[in-house]
Structure 1
Amino acid sequence: MHGLAPPVADEREALLAFLAQQRRQLRATAHGLTEEQGWATPSASELSIAGLIKHAARCERGWMKLVLGHSTAPQRSADESDAPEFLPAPGETLAGLLADYELATAETDEGIAGIADLGRGVPVPRGVPWFPADAEEWSVRWVLLHLIEETARHGGHADIIRETLDGATLFPLMAAAERWPDPWFEPWEPAVSAVSVASAG
């Protein structure tokens, strides 16, 4: 693997390649975390890396329901709080959320593969205050660009959370998670705790 999106031949390939790249970077922020670290909220908000991955999977599924015509409703009601979405539900684990995110992204890719025209209209749900009231539809192209934007924004959140937790930064995490050959960056490794050092002595 590599740290940047690969060369692309056309618009569809470019949109999917850059979306895939942002997904990889979001997943990499979870590499090597314990369950406790995955749900840690070291900033002033309730955001955690596990919660962000949970949210990203939900976003992909919500947008694809609109794209595929399975729903015309907003992804959530206007008065519904974001907070429960970013917090652990009973039985949820970081590993389970990562696996579910992989499944959600595969569903998106499969759905987009079946759409010949990226200019096809996607109805704008009514009654969502941050959606334009004067627009009837977006295009599939617009939805893919929005998913890139959304994933990149939350990947940035996850970067800050991860650096706050243990100082790890993205490219060393990717080098470790993807086993880059001859990486320019020293692959991330978990720190040796004082307890481990003492027991080794």
Structure 2
Amino acid sequence: MTDTKARLHHDLRNARESLLWKLDGLGEYDLRRPMTPTGTNLLGLVKHIGGIEAGYLGEVLGRPVAYPPPWFADDPDEPNTDMWVRAEESSADVIDFYRRVWAHSDATIDALGLDAPGTVPWWPAESADVTLHQMIVLMIGETNRHGGHADIVRELIDGTVGLRPDFNGLPEGGEAWWADYRNRLEQSARRAAGR
């Protein structure tokens, strides 16, 4: 693939699919349960990245989504409302929102050239002027960053790891091999700490 825009779009699509795959097969509790001291959870990551993409590949480029979610309000009723999903919010609705954002972003990417200008109103004025190219690269980074969070959260929930169902990128090894590997890392860390 030699076309820059096509390559970037391909990479963004792969990052999105990988993130969403982390939700496959889980029940409502595991989708929403906080797995870190700051409450990181799988469905919250999807909700958050959907909002980020709607902003950077929508509003910033003069193409706002027609269905902004309630957590886009200028004065949300509490902090971090985009990082978790309330019991009354449907996981299907959050996933559907993210997929609709994909469609909107994909249409934006298809319609505009990489040099199409945009403005990020929440950035400082001296760096607010951007291009579609910059926003696609930013979204690849953001999606992969949060995908990495999802990798860890999913592994903590049920041990599922990998980039996608058919490729995990890890060495072949059974449960005993991984236990031994982790033990060797622990011992190395203890020796380093004792120096």
TM-score interval for Structure 1 and Structure 2 normalised by the shorter chain: 0.7 to 0.9
- Are 2:166 and 1:170 equivalent residues in the alignment? no
Picking from 144, 148, 154, the partner of 1:152 is 144
**Aligned pairs, how many?**
163
Check the 8 A contact 1:124/1:136 in 2, yes or no. Answer: yes
- Are 2:76 and 1:84 equivalent residues in the alignment? no
> What TM-score, normalized by structure 2, do the two folds share?
0.73
Check the 8 A contact 2:120/2:129 in 1, yes or no. Answer: yes
For 1:15 and 1:88, the matched residues in 2 are separated by 30
- Which amino acid is the alignment partner of residue 126 of structure 2? D
Residue 98 of structure 1: SS of its match in structure 2? helix
Could you say which residue in structure 2 is the equivalent of 1:95?
92
Could you say which residue in structure 1 is the equivalent of 2:53?
60
- Which amino acid is the alignment partner of residue 135 of structure 1? S
For 2:134 and 2:73, the matched residues in 1 are separated by 20
Could you say which residue in structure 1 is the equivalent of 2:105?
108
- Which amino acid is the alignment partner of residue 157 of structure 2? L
CA RMSD of aligned residues (A): 2.7
> Structure 1 residues 168 and 106, CA, compared in 2 at 3 Å: closer, same or farther?
same
- Return the structure number with greater helix share: 2
For 1:55 and 1:86, the matched residues in 2 are separated by 5
Q: Alpha-carbon deviation of 1:61?
A: 1.1
Query: Percent of aligned pairs with the same residue?
Result: 25
Could you say which residue in structure 2 is the equivalent of 1:195?
none
Could you say which residue in structure 1 is the equivalent of 2:41?
48
Q: Deviations over 1:110-147 (max 9, x none)?
A: 122111x211211231xx4xx34423511110000001
Could you say which residue in structure 2 is the equivalent of 1:118?
114
Residue 86 of structure 1: SS of its match in structure 2? coil
For 1:49 and 1:168, the matched residues in 2 are separated by 13
> Structure 1 residues 78 and 88, CA, compared in 2 at 3 Å: closer, same or farther?
closer
> What TM-score, normalized by structure 1, do the two folds share?
0.71
Which sections of structure 1, spanning at least 5 residues, go unmatched?
A: 1-7, 177-184, 186-201
Check the 8 A contact 2:61/2:132 in 1, yes or no. Answer: yes
- Are 2:7 and 1:11 equivalent residues in the alignment? no
Q: Alpha-carbon deviation of 1:53?
A: 0.5
Check the 8 A contact 1:38/1:50 in 2, yes or no. Answer: yes
For 2:120 and 2:158, the matched residues in 1 are separated by 41
- Which amino acid is the alignment partner of residue 130 of structure 2? W
Residue 86 of structure 2: SS of its match in structure 1? coil
Which sections of structure 2, spanning at least 5 residues, go unmatched?
A: 66-71, 173-195
- Which amino acid is the alignment partner of residue 142 of structure 1? Q
> Structure 1 residues 31 and 145, CA, compared in 2 at 3 Å: closer, same or farther?
same
